[in-house]
Every structure is written in structure tokens, then in C-alpha cells.
Structure 1
Amino acid sequence: MTRETTLDLLRAAAPGAVGAFNVIHLESAEAIAAGAEKAGGPAIMQISQNCVKYHGGLAPIARATIAVAEAAHVPIAVHLDHATELGLVTEAIDLGFDSVMYDGAHLDFAANCATTAEVVRRAHTHGIGVEAELGEIGGKDGAHAPGVRTNPSEAVDFVADTGVDALAVAVGSSHAMVERTSTLDLALIRRLDEVLSVPLVLHGSSGVAEDEISRAVTAGMRKINISTHLNRVFTASVRATLAAQTDLVDSRKYLGPAREAFAGEVAHLIEMLSGFAKPRDED
């Protein structure tokens, strides 16, 4: 299957959304592809700056992820997530990523605009889309204060000044949550969707209940980032297998079932975001 660009997937998503799932290791990349194939729908594989640090470099995990995406039988895009280092963005562009996210939310508005605009210039030269962030999203390294929201008028100026192709906005979600208790500002999402010409991105979706995510998609969200929730599914499976078979030494025998559980959850999430499955009640 020929890979699709992230922007093509997002443009085709309405009135649904595309799930963007983080790659941690090869098993998660394989699980995302398997889940997308099971659901018969597209997905975005994301590699974050934190993942790059874990692996000691971008190229090996990126090349493996791209290979898995290219072998899939459904449209899959490969995206660089939350990069604050410009060198990493350039490397991802050179490796052939379908899109990159430059996260300048830690900068003041003027500096964020100027730096993001330079990233857009570099990426667009290679036909690669750019996602940016405006209005810090809570929970990342404990640095973002709760209650932060993206200002619609600032968002309009930011998109116009930078030329970004998608915008991650702060609307009540928080990164790295292990409980799905966030309440989103749906009125703000609708307002941002009305005034912006680019797709909206929801980060920190692992902390948002499925019915709330569905409402956010209806309000205008087109890319839904989910990582921690899927890591919980994977880890729970590993724990269960090792608890049941305490003599296991072959890692494939516990990573394999975890990969299958991860894939099953990806399939459900894709179906839910596309409107083909109802949100599940939260435990």
C-alpha cells in the first residue's frame, strides 16, 4: 500500500478523525499497522522526541517504522511528534517523514511564530506538512499550568504568520494521564474550528473518555493523539502473561500477546473515531 501523507488523511477524515498513535518500539509500530488493517481504516504512526532519546537516535526506529507503514494494506502516515530540536526536525524531513510537529509552545508568541515559520519553509520545500502547537497543553514534564487554553484570535494570527498545516490546541486535555477524567472545552473547539482553515489536533487524548473524544470530533477535532492509554494496554498484557507463566524466558511469548492487545485497541479506536463503533463505557 502506498503511504499517504498526513495532510491527505486529515483532509479526508471529516466528519470523523484520524487516530495518531505513538511508536515506542517495533512491536508498537507493528501493532498500529495490524490494528489499522483490522479496522480497515487509516492511521498515523508518531515518533516523539522522547522516543528518539530512548533509542539513542532517530534513524533506526524511523526506518523500521517507515518500513512497517509501507508494508501495510491500509493508508498509514509517519509523523514526528513534539520535536523541540530543529536538528531533529531536519533529520525527519531528510528521512522522508510525511509530516513533522515542531513544538514551540515553550516560546513566547513572537518567537514561536518566527521559529515555526522557518520549520514550515524547510518542510514545504520537501512537500512535508507541519503541525505546531499554540496554548500549552497541560502535563508535559509538569511544566504546563492547568487551565491553559488556546486563544482563537491568536490562533488565527499564528496560522497566518507561520503557514502551518495543522494546529494542536489547548482545550482541556493533559499529557501522560493514566485516568480518563479530562473534560474538554467543546465550545472552544467549535470556535477554533470556525475561525481556522487548518485541521485541529487533540493532544493528551489518553486522559479523555471515549464519549468526550467523540464529542470533540463532532466539534471539529481531526487528529487525535493517543499514546499512554495504549501503553497501559500493552503493559497490562505483559504483566498478565508473566504472572500466569512465571517460568517464561522467551520475550516473544509475552511481547507477542501484548502486541495483539495493542493492535485490538488500535482497531477499536480507529472504528470509534471514524464513527463505525460506539464509544465504550469507561471502567
Structure 2
Amino acid sequence: MPLIGTGETVAAAVAAGHAAAAFNVIQLEHAEAIIAGAEAAGAPVILQISENAVRYHGALAPLARAALAAGERAGTAVSVHLDHVTEPALVEEALHLGVHSVMFDASTLGYAENVKATAEVVARCHDAGVWVEAELGEVGGKDGVHAPGVRTDPAEAAAYTAATGVDALAVAVGTSHAMLTRDAALDHALIAALREAVPVPLVLHGSSGVSDDGLTEAVRHGMTKINISTHLNNAFTTAVRDHLAAHPAVVDPRKYLGAGRHAVATEVTRLLGILRPGPDGPGPNGPRPDGTD
């Protein structure tokens, strides 16, 4: 199936009243697993590559080209997105590689500087036909806009969207990056207020820390793009640890990486059942009857 633009995936989610799922890719096994999980769910998916993952690999091109190639062979619609980019030069590289969308993160800057830097990136990306996500933030703090207690003001978010021309906006409503527990308390009333004030789709970062029910409620109140990374990394690593513990003599990385890949694919399918529920709620791959994850 051909690759499609991230904007198309998100627009279809808006029209259907459900969420577009974006899962982070750190290595080839992640891309393969995410696509396999999306194929099983019969759903489109967004492959995200963060600036941190680019630093890990030393360059964007190898991982981006791998993700694009995997998407071209997929049996479902796939988009490739560059996430949390802080350097305009990396945006330029992404445009040349054919990435479908960019999340430009100027959230550590003051408001005026954020607007100026983001508007420049938006103009460049739109000239290239590339969709742009951005976020508001505060100066300082490891998590920036997603530090605990930070909240996005609806009026400021509306003004920011108008000033920058972004296609989607990441907002702070109670999540934080890299959570290993799924007990983040989302402000659903704020999500609804932001949805009323902001004319572009809203994006939830730090979604790994949100429970299944919390994700369902977030989408119901107005979140459209849901980003998940740490939760899948946890599934991957747990499966690898379990495989190595059960098979201590194994040395072929395909054996234990394959276990991790299978675990991620299974969880992607399940999560897509929650984020894209049928008329009776989450589908067969939604929450288990006993409430476990």
C-alpha cells in the first residue's frame, strides 16, 4: 500500500471521531512491529522518529529510509513523522528524505521566540507540502510543556495556532514523557476547552502514562493524535528479558529481538482497538476482560 501523508491520516481520524495513532521507532524491529500490529488491526499508523533516536543512530537517513521502505511494503496506510525536532537543519534533512510530517519543538523558548521559530519552519515545510505539529511550553524543565503540573491555556493556544500556521498542536493536559506507570490524571475539561478554542487537531504527548480508559476519554473529549513510545519500549524490553531468562544460552539476536518485536506488534494491535473503537466501544483487541494491560 502506498505511503500517505500524516495530514491525511489525521484528517480521516477527525472525520471519523477517533484517534490517529503515532508510535515511536527506535530501530528497524520497532517499525516492523508497529506495521504488523496496524495491519492486524486494519488501521493506518504513523511511524515517529524522535530527534533523540536520530542522535542514537548518529544520523536521520538510515532510520528514516528504513521506516519509509517498511511503510511502502505495508498492507495498511503508513506515514513517517519526525518528532520533537529542535534544529531547523534536521527539518531540512527530513524534507529531502521524503518524511511526511515534522513536529518542531521550540517549547523551551519564550512565547515570542517560539512563535517566530515555528512560523519559519511551518512556512518552509508547507512550501514542501509537509504537515507540521508544534507545541507551547515553558522555559526550563526537562519535560518542558509536559512537566507535571503544566497546563496549556486555551486562549494562548488559539493565538499561537493563528500566529504560526501549524497543522496540529501538542498541548499539556496532565501527561509527562517517559512514564512507566499508567496513572497520569488527564484534565478532560481542559481538553474539551482546548478543542473548542483551537481550530487544528490536538496532540497528546506522553500517552504511555495514560490508562486505557484515560485514552478513550481523551479521544472522546477532543484529542486526535496520540503519541506512544515508552509503553511499547517497556513491552519490547520485558519480552527480551523474559526470552533471555528462559533461554540463557541464546546468542542469536534474532531470537530475542524477535520476541520483542512480537510483543510490540501485539500491543499495537490492542491499542489501536482502543483508539479506534467500533460502535460498541473498544474492539476485540481492546481492554482484556480482567482489566489488565
* Post-superposition CA distance 1:126-164 (Å, at most 9, x none): 100000011359984689642111111111110101000
CA contact (8 A) 1:138 1:146 kept: no
Partner of 1:69: 71
In the TM superposition, residue 279 of structure 1 has moved relative to its aligned partner by 3.7
Q: Percent identity?
A: 58
Q: Which amino acid counterpart does residue 47 of structure 2 have in structure 1?
A: M
Aligned residues: 283
Partner of 2:42: 40
Partner of 2:170: 168
CA contact (8 A) 2:152 2:172 kept: yes
CA contact (8 A) 1:237 1:257 kept: yes
In the TM superposition, residue 85 of structure 1 has moved relative to its aligned partner by 1.0
SS at match of 1:217: helix
Partner of 1:258: 260
Partner of 1:130: 132
* Post-superposition CA distance 1:7-55 (Å, at most 9, x none): 1111111311011000000000000110110100011000000000000
CA contact (8 A) 2:137 2:144 kept: no
Partner of 2:123: 121
Distance in 2, matches of 1:141 and 1:109, equals 16
Listed as ranges, the matches of 1:103-118 within 5 Å are 103-118=105-120
SS at match of 2:12: helix
Change in Cα spacing, 1:272 to 1:148, as seen in structure 2 (3 Å) is: same
Distance in 1, matches of 2:55 and 2:115, equals 26
Partner of 2:188: 186
Structure 2 portions without partners, runs of 5+:
none
The alignment's C-alpha RMSD in Å is 1.7
Distance in 2, matches of 1:106 and 1:216, equals 25
In the TM superposition, residue 122 of structure 1 has moved relative to its aligned partner by 0.5
Partner of 1:146: 148
Q: Which amino acid counterpart does residue 188 of structure 1 have in structure 2?
A: L
Runs of 4+ in 1 over 6 A off after TM superposition: none
